[in-house]
């Protein structure tokens, strides 16, 4: 959900209003202009977010392991640490990389030679269209339902499990190892955030000073993130 939402939000905000207004002058309604113009221009970001979400779900281990749902990632961990069969685990990991490469290649093939340009920096961005009445209620309800299902429901369930585990007399998570685990997690999170921020600033600077080289580097890093 965050992958698709954040990329789609950026794609819609970067589109210039002049193209949308030109479509309306040609006789298209707001809905038809959105479907035939705005959505196709946002296709690269929507496709990238969808592929990232699919790969994230495919490589997830904790959730599928907890619910007992067999996946490739769960089988890799079992083969590596449970059955001590690194050769089979490596083969399955290579298969997952092939799946990721296949998805990226299919998206490129489907796009073909089409080019997508965002020129919001050269003009006005799309204006917000305020909803009223029944449309506003439907939009708020749909967004609230999506937010609740994608964020509030999982967080509430996790908090319920944590409270149940803490109240259980047979489980003691507040032992001497808790501080070590928490410190290691915070350290890795901080290092990862610093590296990602540095690379993002480097790419942004490269795009402003050397546009062609910056784009090539950003594409290379994006593919690396997708495969990882």
Q: Long-range contacts: 52-57, Cβ < 8 Å, 24+?
A: 52/3, 52/226, 53/1, 53/3, 53/4, 54/103, 55/100, 55/103, 55/226, 56/3
125 forms bridges with which residues in the sheet? 16
What Cα–Cα distance (Å) separates residue 68 from each residue in 61, 79, 85?
10, 16, 21
Specify the range with the lowest mean pLDDT, choosing from 12-26, 127-141, 142-156.
12-26
Please check the confidence at residue 121 and state whether its pLDDT lies above 60.
Answer: no
pLDDT reading at 115 higher than 80: no
What is the Cα–Cα distance from 140 to 193, expressed in whole angstroms? 33
Q: What is the DSSP string of 62-123?
A: HHHHHHT---HHHHHHIIIIIS--HHHHHHHHHHHHHHHHHHHHHHHHHHTT------GGGS
Can you give the pLDDT at residue 212?
64
For 132-140, what is the mean pLDDT?
Answer: 90
Q: Residue 55 class from Cβ within 10 Å (0-12 exposed, 13-18 middle, 19+ buried)?
A: buried
Check pLDDT > 90 for residue 138.
Answer: yes
- Give 130's DSSP letter: -
* pTM score over 0.85: no
Q: Which comes out higher in pLDDT, residue 167 or 8?
A: 8
Domain positions in the chain are 130-171, 174-228
Predicted confidence (pLDDT) at residue 171 exceeds the cutoff of 60? no
Q: How far apart are CA 122 and CA 128, in angstroms?
A: 18
pLDDT top residue among 98 and 82: 98
- Mean residue pLDDT of the chain comes to 77
């Amino acid at each position: 959900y965050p992958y698709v939402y954040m990329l789609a939000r950026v794609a819609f905000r970067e589109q210039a209003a002049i193209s949308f207004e030109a479509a309306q002058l040609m006789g298209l309604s707001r809905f038809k202009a959105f479907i035939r113009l705005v959505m196709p221009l946002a296709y690269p970001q929507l496709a990238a977010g969808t592929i990232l979400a699919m790969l994230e779900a495919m490589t997830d281990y904790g959730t599928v392991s907890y619910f007992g749902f067999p996946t490739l990632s769960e089988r890799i961990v079992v083969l590596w640490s449970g059955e001590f069969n690194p050769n089979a685990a490596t083969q399955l990991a290579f298969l997952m990389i092939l799946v990721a490469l296949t998805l990226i290649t299919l998206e490129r093939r489907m796009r073909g030679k089409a080019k997508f340009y965002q020129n919001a920096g050269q003009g006005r961005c799309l204006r917000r269209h305020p909803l009223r009445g029944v449309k506003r209620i439907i939009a708020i309800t749909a967004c609230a339902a999506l937010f609740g299902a994608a964020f509030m429901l999982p967080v509430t369930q996790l908090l319920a499990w944590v409270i149940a585990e803490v109240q259980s007399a047979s489980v003691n998570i507040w032992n001497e190892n808790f501080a070590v685990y928490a410190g290691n997690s915070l350290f890795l999170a901080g290092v990862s955030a610093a590296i990602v921020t540095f690379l993002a600033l480097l790419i942004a600077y490269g795009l402003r000073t050397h546009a062609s080289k910056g784009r090539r580097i950003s594409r290379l890093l994006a593919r690396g993130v997708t495969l990882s």
